[in-house]
Chains A and B, each alone.
Chain A
């Protein structure tokens, strides 16, 4: 009875998963950063959740939205710079999405 273990496959899984996750998370985070820079800080109020879960209240979400609007007013960037940041944000989100699609395509094709 011989036991052969493909250690390389484990390493490949680790590297592929690490690269994929960091790429998706990194570019998505970059997109959010650029969005904030463009003066459009995302304020997403939590969806309806069960009583057992405590996230942020509507009041807190409103306060965050107010702070975001205030920061946007204070933003010293010109309109051109803001547009550029917005374009960069969209590009970062696109790269993140493409990384996901690429990974899925790789699985489907093989």
Chain B
């Protein structure tokens, strides 16, 4: 009995430590997007997350029941042998959790816990001790479906958020106001995390209490002190360790807009809360990541980076078997050395690993100034264009504007053509008038020249009759001189007439 009490105390201590690492590892994801969009200061965000995790842990106990009374058939196992198995499972979960936390690998605390427990039970008890129906329906399937579901919901919510606030008249759309909303939704995510994740530890402690005979098996609800201890520990872990998680996030979610973050968080909170209601033990990290990817796709011109998505998915898929392997290894030590020595050696080994990882992590201390988070990879998984393509309505508006512009241009072209035609006609008329004047002047000058020539002829005849004796040469000379003068006079008359006509044309 004393050994059982010793092991129960160790299990509770280790479970609470797991709860602490869960807060360390997962909870800051709730505050990822509000910090990325600048809705909340990192310090305020982490404090808020811690308080709301504390509150959330008191809201529901359905997930706790799934673990304490469902996954493992404790009635078929010897209680004295089962307590060390729980202990070994916790060691597996904590070691994997701490290792992924240190290396910054995508992981899930919840799946690490399930993996550790399943691995330890497989080695320490038997395959029959695990209810694979419950594992499949309440752990594995929700783990596979929940990120996808959260993504679809986030996609729809983002479309709604952008659709309702879209303006076509270039006036402010008010989307900045989503920053206020993000404070509410991120608080909801933190609360939802408390309702789901804190209960996993409650479930493990309750399972240990039932196994040791400190609690009635028919009453699987966690006791109040268990609820309080788990709530307080996860809140403390959140406040103490949020920085490391948030640090990765800052780099990855730079493209998250307030409307998108608001939608992603609403989806995450709604999915986790609804799952908690049904007792599904989900991974907050996976749901939050699914939501971030879904909301990214909800924006226009976005594209999925499948390589990044694949990397995240592989990390998630690895968590359960990897934690199970570590749990199985711890269970093997317990089975090999016996319950008391096995637990003692396991505890010393676990402590050494934890201290080693903690010492290693101190080399790169994380604080409010350089904090980031791991949901960051989800932010990288979707590429959003800086200038997204227009919506259907925007395309219709652009088409209408182009049509009006074309109409205006056609009208202007027609006007220009008509004006040019009128100008050409006017110029032709003027030219015709000028030609007529010129022709008239030429005709008049020709007439005058003929008249003068005729007069000269008459004069020349007269003078030829008078001066026949004076000499032929002189008379001939005079006549030609007079004819030249007459021609010159006629020419000057024509020139004047032409000049007058030109002047008239220019005046017109």
With known contacts A22-B157, A42-B180, A52-B250, A47–B270 Cβ distance under 8 A: no
Interface-lining segment among B216-224, B368-376, B481-489: B368-376
Residue of A nearest to B262 (CB): A25
Cβ 8 A contact of A107, one of B37, B60, B145: B60
With known contacts A41-B172, A42-B180, A26–B160 Cβ distance under 8 A: yes
Q: Any chain A CB within 8 A of the CB of B276?
A: yes
Q: Any chain B CB within 8 A of the CB of A100?
A: yes
Residue of B nearest to A46 (CB): B38
Cβ 8 A contact of A21, one of B145, B177, B266: B266
Q: Any chain A CB within 8 A of the CB of B161?
A: yes
Kindly state the separation between the CA atoms of A9 and B179 in the bound complex, as whole angstroms: 33
Instruction: Give the residues in chain A near B185, CB-CB below 8 Å.
Output: 24
Q: Is the CB of A22 within 8 A of B160?
A: yes
Q: Any chain A CB within 8 A of the CB of B91?
A: no
Cβ 8 A contact of A67, one of B39, B154, B172, B179: B172
Q: Is the CB of B40 within 8 A of A47?
A: yes
With known contacts A5-B137, A44-B179, A12–B278 Cβ distance under 8 A: yes
Q: Is the CB of B133 within 8 A of A1?
A: yes
Q: Which of A24, A45, A56, A104 has the most CB of B within 10 A?
A: A24
Residue of A nearest to B163 (CB): A29
Instruction: Give the residues in chain B near A35, CB-CB below 8 Å.
Output: 174, 177
Residue of B nearest to A44 (CB): B179
Instruction: Give the residues in chain A near B157, CB-CB below 8 Å.
Output: 21-22, 25
Kindly state the separation between the CA atoms of A56 and B257 in the bound complex, as whole angstroms: 10
With known contacts A21-B153, A36-B173, A48-B41, A5–B60 Cβ distance under 8 A: no
- Residues of chain B from 239 to 286 with CB closer than 8 A to chain A in the complex: 247, 250-251, 253-254, 258-259, 262-263, 266-267, 269-271, 273-278, 280
Q: Is the CB of B141 within 8 A of A5?
A: yes
- Residues of chain B from 26 to 47 with CB closer than 8 A to chain A in the complex: 35-42, 44
Q: Is the CB of A5 within 8 A of B136?
A: yes
Instruction: Give the residues in chain B near A3, CB-CB below 8 Å.
Output: 132-133, 136-137
Kindly state the separation between the CA atoms of A79 and B184 in the bound complex, as whole angstroms: 31
Q: Is the CB of B274 within 8 A of A13?
A: yes
Instruction: Give the residues in chain B near A16, CB-CB below 8 Å.
Output: 270, 274, 277
Cβ 8 A contact of B174, one of A1, A32, A54, A100: A32
Q: Is the CB of B176 within 8 A of A64?
A: yes
Kindly state the separation between the CA atoms of A11 and B181 in the bound complex, as whole angstroms: 28
**Chain A proximity of B296: nearest CB distance (Å):** 15
Kindly state the separation between the CA atoms of A103 and B269 in the bound complex, as whole angstroms: 10
Q: Any chain A CB within 8 A of the CB of B479?
A: no
With known contacts A32-B165, A106-B277, A50–B176 Cβ distance under 8 A: no
Instruction: Give the residues in chain A near B274, CB-CB below 8 Å.
Output: 12-13, 16-17, 20
Q: Is the CB of B145 within 8 A of A47?
A: no
Q: Any chain A CB within 8 A of the CB of B312?
A: no
Q: Is the CB of B133 within 8 A of A25?
A: no
Cβ 8 A contact of B38, one of A26, A53, A100: A53
With known contacts A30-B164, A47-B41, A20–B133 Cβ distance under 8 A: no
**Chain A proximity of B16: nearest CB distance (Å):** 24
Kindly state the separation between the CA atoms of A21 and B133 in the bound complex, as whole angstroms: 30
Cβ 8 A contact of B42, one of A13, A29, A43, A49: A49
Kindly state the separation between the CA atoms of A42 and B266 in the bound complex, as whole angstroms: 20
Q: Any chain A CB within 8 A of the CB of B59?
A: yes
With known contacts A52-B251, A55-B38, A107-B277, A17–B149 Cβ distance under 8 A: yes
Q: Is the CB of B184 within 8 A of A36?
A: no
Q: Any chain B CB within 8 A of the CB of A87?
A: no
Cβ 8 A contact of B133, one of A4, A45, A56: A4
With known contacts A3-B136, A17-B153, A21-B270, A49–B41 Cβ distance under 8 A: yes
Interface residues of A (CB under 8 A from B): 1-6, 9-10, 12-14, 16-18, 20-22, 24-26, 28-33, 35-36, 41-56, 64, 67-68, 71, 97, 100, 103-104, 106-108, 110
Those 8 A-B pairs whose CB atoms lie nearest each other, nearest first: A46-B38, A52-B250, A42-B177, A29-B164, A36-B174, A17-B270, A55-B38, A41-B172
Query: 18 more A-B contacts (CB under 8 A) besides A14-B152, A21-B154?
Result: A5-B136, A9-B278, A12-B278, A17-B149, A17-B275, A18-B270, A21-B271, A26-B164, A29-B161, A32-B164, A32-B175, A41-B176, A42-B174, A42-B176, A43-B176, A49-B38, A50-B250, A104-B59
Can you sample 22 A-B contacts with CB below 8 Å?
A1-B133, A3-B136, A4-B133, A5-B133, A16-B277, A17-B275, A18-B156, A21-B263, A21-B266, A28-B161, A28-B178, A28-B262, A32-B175, A36-B167, A36-B171, A41-B176, A48-B41, A49-B41, A51-B369, A52-B247, A67-B172, A103-B270
